[in-house]
Amino acid sequence: MSNDNNNDNFSPLSETGSQVERYRSTRREHGLGKVLLSFLGSMEVAISLFVVVGIASIIGTILQQNQAYNTYIIKFGPFWFELFRALELYDIYSSWWFVTLLGFLLISTSVCIYHYAPMMLREWRHFRLNVSEKSLRLMHSSGLWKTDQSQEQISRFVQQKLVNGGYSTRLKNEQGVLTIAAKKGAANRLGYLFTHGAIILICLSALYDGNFNLKLRELAGQLKPETRDLFASQVPTISRLKAGDNHAFRGSSSIPEGSTTDIVFLQMRNGFLVQELPFNLTLHDFRIEHYESGMPKSFESDIEIEDKKTGKKITKTIAVNHPLRYQDFAIYQASFDDGGSIMDLQAWSLENGSQKAIRFKQVVGQSKEIDTAQGKVKLELTEFKVSNVQPNPKAGETGHKFKNMGPTLTFRIRDSSGQAKEFINYILPTQQEGRSFFLSGVRSSNSEPFRYLFIPVDDQMSLKRFFDFRALLNNNREMQRIAGKTAELSLQGNKPVKPELVQQMSVVMLRLAQLFNQGGFDQVLADINKKVPENKREMVTESYFKVLQTILGTVYLEVLQHEGVDISNKITPVQEQYYDDLVNTMGVLANYDAPFYLQIKSFEHKQASGFQITRSPGKNLVYLGCIFLVIGIVLMFYVAHKRIWVRIKSAPDGLANEILVAGSGDRHQKEFAQEFQALSQLLDKEFSKQH
């Protein structure tokens, strides 16, 4: 490195990298400490660390962090789940290896600044007035002029032109030789310091705002994530964090309308922690708008914060990308859910021999035990939606691409062994080929599609006729009467009617009706296949189904009579169509495999808003680091460091003065060449050009 007091053999044509290498090579390093500092401060180590940290950050961005382990098992399978867990990819930013890399990157970048900052600052300040004539003549951009003007006149002219071009100048007169050193864009050298400083600030912020301290406390036995499904009030102390125990976190909370909370949940691998807040958060109102497709268009919440210490209250409406910032906390609108809607339900029994229907109220998100013939089952209401928009198959006729199917309730029925089936019931009847049905889907696991049961509605748009029909089938005394009457009517064409024949026919009818009630058409066919030889099955099946249709038709007429419908004449086509739909539904009802059908009579809708609450005091360091990074990049890549030297001395003949002008730029060489050419043209007009 040369300064103003060095000798004349310094060449200014050097890039920052070569200057760094030359400066490093001139250092005399002895001892382990200096060797270690030299290694940590090497550009190769810093770049390697930066690349690895960058790759890890990309993985952390692509792979959603801090989700429940079951989510990852479903997504990746057991093998990859275990491999990724061993690598701590589910919580990269708090993993020991990522924190270690950040620490080394911080140290390496700091050592780089320690090594090279003095050189950069000297490069920024110094004008290099001791440059030799030989060095100037060897520069690519150089020229020689001669004039009889005095050195003072030449100096004033040249300095004026350089200053007009944006250069700063320094003057040195030594032994009759006048040297003018000019430079501009010296701030380019500061770009190195700004970019490295930005990396240091961002690393400090990442280390400070990370939850690595929680892992250390967990290893020390001071903290243990809760893995059970408990209410927040039931979570033990070892899984709770006081408001002042954790300086940085990112948690979530779901608050129903009109409710208040002072906690958030922090996801920790396969468990969670409860983080207490220094304020109460109340949700007053939640609003949402949808597109025609049913997708959320916008949603916002009216919230209130009450500081626990001061009692100060702040009210604000927050929306997506418009959070509330309070002290070190940021409250984001993240999601929405049901907030505990109250459902007025009626459970129609589907069990054989049972006619019981119970009515009760239950809150979404809660469970209830219900007695059935097979024992107690647990009814779990999991989700309620006020609207369910689906593509409209008749879009060409109606002009609407989507249609709203109305509110839906999703629930599970869990038996005593813990096995559950999931159901989704539509509150409003659905139109199918001009007829109305109540729709209910069922599946055994989330990986399966729903299989739907269509229950026809009667003239009053209710399920009463359907379940009256089932109740009559389950009434043995009434079915014996109906079977006897039907058998007698069907045998009136045979004279005389023998009582034993009527009895045999009624037994067959009653048997077929019972089989149908138990398992639908499949049960009837299974009984035929079991008892009838194969060569007679087709004929018997045809006969049995005619008998079955007869007895079921009589049961249906009994139901209509009980409703007060006049059936003295033929039934209407609508009533006849209802009978066909009724029989078809009863024929597959066994596949529904549920102890009851759950009908939603009415509901009181409550919504909940999902918030993400973060505390990141180190964010200001990130903002400052980003500013430094932008400044550094602009200085390094868009500001060119340019130098021009003018050396004025007496010509060898002693009758005139000789002007040697040379310059260099560390980048944008074409631009500097054009600038030097423009200066040369100004000098050509004033002085004589020498070749």
Q: Per-residue pLDDT tens for 575-633?
A: 999 999 999 999 999 999 899 999 999 999 999 999 999 998 888 899 999 999 999 99
* Cβ neighbours of residue 395 closer than 8 Å, sequence gap 6 or more: 401
Question: Residue 6 pLDDT more than 80?
Answer: no
Query: Do 76 and 198 have their domain in common?
Result: yes
CA nearest neighbour of 507 among 531, 479, 532: 479
pLDDT at 1 over 50: no
Identify the domain containing residue 315 by its residue range.
218-247+249-339+607-615
- Give dist(CA 521, CA 536) in Å, integer: 18
Same domain, 478 and 499: yes
Rounded Cα distance, 337 and 256, in Å: 9
The bridge status of strand 451-456 relative to strand 389-391 is unpaired
Domain match, 76 and 195 both:
yes
Distance CA 403, CA 436 (A): 16
In a domain, 630, yes or no: no
Average pLDDT over residues 372-388: 90
Asked whether 348 and 465 are in contact (CB, 8 A), the reply is no
> Which residues make beta-bridge pairs with 251?
613
Q: Are residues 414 and 525 in the same domain?
A: no
DSSP per-residue letters across 589-634? GGGG--SEEEEEEEEE--EEEEEEEEE-TTHHHHHHHHHHHHHHHH
CATH of the domain at 1: 3.30.160.110
Residue 622 placed within a domain: no
Determine the average pLDDT of the residues in 270-296: 89
Domain identity same for 76 and 200: yes
> Which residue's entry shows tokens 């050009």?
689
| pLDDT exceeds cutoff 50 at 120 | yes
pTM: 0.68
Residues 38 and 149 both lie in one domain:
no
- The mean per-residue pLDDT over the stretch 430-434 comes to 87
Contact 513, 548 (CB under 8 A): yes
pLDDT at 339 exceeding the cut of 50: yes
In whole numbers, what is the pLDDT of the chain averaged over residues? 86
pLDDT tens digits for 133-154?
A: 888 888 889 999 988 888 899 9
Is pLDDT of 354 > 70? Answer: no
Looking at per-residue confidence, does 419 or 34 come out higher?
A: 419
Whether pLDDT at 507 is above 50: yes
Residue 629 is assigned to a structural domain of this protein: no
Q: How many domains does the chain have?
A: 5
Same domain, 177 and 201: no
Dihedral sign of CA atoms 249, 253, 257, 262 in order = negative
Residue 495 has pLDDT above 80, yes or no: no
Q: Is residue 413 part of a domain?
A: yes
Please provide residue 614's backbone torsions phi and psi, each rounded to the nearest 5 degrees. Answer: -125, 150
Q: Are residues 73 and 174 in the same domain?
A: no
| 634 in any annotated domain | no
CA distance 497 to 491: 7
- Claim to verify: residue 198 and residue 281 sit in the same structural domain: no
Binned at pLDDT 50, 70 and 90, residue 443 comes out as very high
C-alpha closest to that of 446 among 75, 63, 17, 49: 75
Which pLDDT band holds residue 300 (cuts at 50, 70, 90)?
A: very high
Q: Are 66 and 90 in contact, with CB atoms under 8 Å apart? A: yes
Higher pLDDT, 489 or 479: 479
User: Do both 273 and 170 map to the same domain?
Assistant: no
Residue 276 and residue 233 share a domain: yes
Beta bridge partners of 349: 596
The angle that helices 537-563 and 499-531 make with each other, rounded to 10 degrees, is 120
Residue 559 pLDDT more than 90? yes
Same domain, 109 and 174: no
Please choose, from the candidates 154, 148, 180, the residue with its C-alpha nearest in 3D space to the C-alpha of residue 167.
Answer: 180
Facing residues of 282 across strands? 260, 304
